[in-house]
């Protein structure tokens, strides 16, 4: 039995003056599912997120959202005045006044010990967890994350993706995530949507990673960066996505 459909985009297009930002994009997110948008800069990923959030209206197409859908949002960039005298708890109180809810959210993301710390003094990875805690205060049915590991070191990125998977399971929410971190995100997602103003390909990470459209967009470097995480089977692909005959390859050496 399929989980509840949270949001569905049907042939969404978005234009600014005479420039096309998105062209006939369709995708859906269900409860308990992580859907990740990947693509180059300028592909329209953030614009698509803003349409899902209701911050932008599409030029054409339709957006269907579950009735009274609760959204949690973690932005790509968040700038704070370094002189702002605000603790982590005081910052979260701007969203949620209840101390118990704030404590539970901070505990969920593993930073309860930072509750009284000045938000301007914490690390980049810790700030991302604070922003995730803020998004969780709404107990979202759909969690929208725009580049959630921005400014986080490699070890912290892996931990943060694991945390996102944990949050998805705990709240049984859907997750729509934007990422450039192909080598990590492909192991932490159910469905990948490769976007370059239109949907180039979409599906399970193993399927997308061998799709000619993906290979054309990201090239050998992108494929190699994912291999450790997605190619667990007993064969290899060439750059066209075809299975390599390893016996012939060894015979030719």
Contact 190, 179 (CB under 8 A): no
Confidence band of 223 (pLDDT split at 50, 70, 90)? low
Q: pLDDT per residue over 184-199, tens digit each?
A: 777 778 899 989 999 9
**Structure confidence at residue 183 (pLDDT):** 66
**Percentage of the chain exceeding pLDDT 90:** 46
Contact 136, 164 (CB under 8 A): no
Q: Which domains, and CATH codes, for the chain? A: 5-70+141-149+172-251 (3.40.50.300)
Q: pLDDT per residue over 134-177, tens digit each?
A: 999 989 999 999 888 877 777 788 888 889 999 999 999 999 99
Q: Is the whole-model pTM more than 0.95? A: no
**Structure confidence at residue 227 (pLDDT):** 46
Q: pLDDT per residue over 64-113, tens digit each?
A: 998 889 999 998 777 777 777 889 999 999 887 788 999 999 999 999 99
Confidence band of 224 (pLDDT split at 50, 70, 90)? low
Whether residue 244 is predicted with pLDDT greater than 60 in this model: the reply is: no
């Amino acid at each position: 039995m399929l989980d509840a459909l949270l949001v569905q985009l049907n042939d969404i297009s978005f234009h600014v003056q005479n420039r096309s930002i998105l062209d006939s994009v369709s995708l859906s997110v269900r409860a308990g599912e992580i859907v990740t948008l990947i693509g180059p800069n300028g592909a329209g990923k953030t614009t698509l997120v803003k349409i899902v959030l209701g911050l932008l209206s599409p030029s054409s197409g339709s957006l269907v959202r579950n009735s009274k859908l609760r959204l949690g949002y973690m932005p790509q960039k968040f700038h704070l005045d370094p002189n702002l005298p605000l603790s982590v708890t005081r910052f979260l109180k701007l969203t949620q006044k209840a101390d118990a809810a704030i404590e539970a959210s901070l505990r969920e993301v593993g930073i309860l010990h930072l509750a009284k710390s000045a938000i301007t003094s914490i690390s980049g990875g810790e700030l991302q967890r604070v922003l995730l805690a803020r998004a969780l205060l709404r107990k979202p049915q759909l969690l929208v994350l725009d580049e959630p590991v921005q400014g986080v070191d490699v070890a912290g990125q892996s931990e943060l993706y694991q945390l996102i998977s944990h949050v998805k399971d705990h709240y049984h929410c859907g997750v729509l995530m934007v990422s450039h971190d192909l080598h990590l995100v492909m192991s932490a997602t159910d469905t990948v949507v490769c976007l370059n103003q239109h949907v180039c390909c979409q599906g399970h990470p193993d399927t997308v990673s061998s799709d000619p459209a993906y290979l054309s967009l990201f090239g050998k470097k992108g494929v190699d960066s994912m291999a450790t995480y997605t190619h667990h089977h007993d064969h290899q692909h060439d750059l066209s996505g075809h299975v390599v005959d390893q016996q012939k390859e060894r015979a030719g050496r």
